[in-house]
A = this chain, B = another copy of it.
Amino acid sequence: MNKLILAAAILASPALAADEAPAPPTPASVVEAAKPSEWKAIDPADLLVMDLAPDAKGNKRQVIIQLMPPPFSQGWVDNIRTLARAHWWDGTSVYRAVDNWVVQWGDGEGEDPAKAKPLPKGLKVVPESEYVAPATKAELTNLADGASFGASGLAKTTSFLSDPYASLTTFYEGWPIATSSNAKWPTHCYGTVGVARDLSPDTGTGAELYSVIGQAPRQLDRNIAVVGRVIEGIENLSTLPRGKGDHGVYADKSLRVPIISVRLGSDLPTAEQPHFEYLDTGSKSFAEYVHVSANRNDAFYKVPAGGIALCNVKVPIRRVPGE
């Protein structure tokens, strides 16, 4: 038996179940057992496909981002669609990387307004009030069982999702969401994409974006626009060298990674359009997935945690063939 690789295996993934007894469920086994009807398609029109320059060995580097659905952040999401359709990001770069924080991309020439790349027409100025969306009482219904998220919309969870940043946390159409008594908002988890901005009242246009590459910086929630998440290729951002200039900007501009193109998935030729599905966060399988993730008692785990942080619930997303 391979001790080291087994140790590695178990750290990385569901237990390799012994075959003598019915194995306890793992998050992966719950996902595998989900019904086809519990998976929901992600519209290619809601995807951004970012092609970076190949790495030093010539390997292709692609990052795919899912855009935030209504009612969240739609002003910035509209701007991002405008920027993508204008091919505005083509020729810009990834210019900043800070360990356990963010990788940032866009023009990156703000130091010198004369050098700044002109923005396309039609971008909205989005007010700070759009960092959150109103929440109704019905959406905040307190369900007795934290493993139930309700077939649609928001629902209170039990203490196993207790959170220092919000009254309640839950999932909404596939996204981790936090709530207070009258508002709901999208949260900063690993892979979350947000809009870099200047000081208030500036809210950013969406031209300069960042992705989280470390511990969830939830203190940014409600202070900055969350517009999406990386669903494939995050390693093409998270492994970039950390910048040594001020605030992690690459002092050595040769480290900037050229962005070849950013396109909406639906604007690519049909054969190239990426297709993904997410596990319906209102489904029975998702509720079970959260419950099992919070109470691991499979082969590797001796002490179930009894709870789970919102950002440790990795919403299952899978690539599927096109039609």
Contacts and interface: CB of A to CB of B under 8 A. Distances in A.
Nearest to A56: B56
Interface stretch (A195-203, A258-266, A273-281): A195-203
A210 B248 CA distance: 25
Q: Is the interface of A mostly helix, strand, loop or mixed?
A: loop
A4 B99 contact: no
A159 interface: yes
B104 A204 contact: no
Interface stretch (A42-50, A76-84, A234-242): A234-242
Interface string A294-323: 101001111101111101100000000000
B165 A164 contact: no
Given A3-B110, A309-B309, A215 B198 contact: no
A23 interface: no
A101 interface: yes
Given A4-B196, A223-B301, A165 B307 contact: yes
A155 to B, nearest CB: 16
Nearest to A55: B241
Which 9 pairs of residues, A with B, have the shortest CB-CB distance? A4-B110, A164-B307, A12-B247, A7-B196, A222-B303, A9-B247, A3-B110, A219-B305, A235-B242
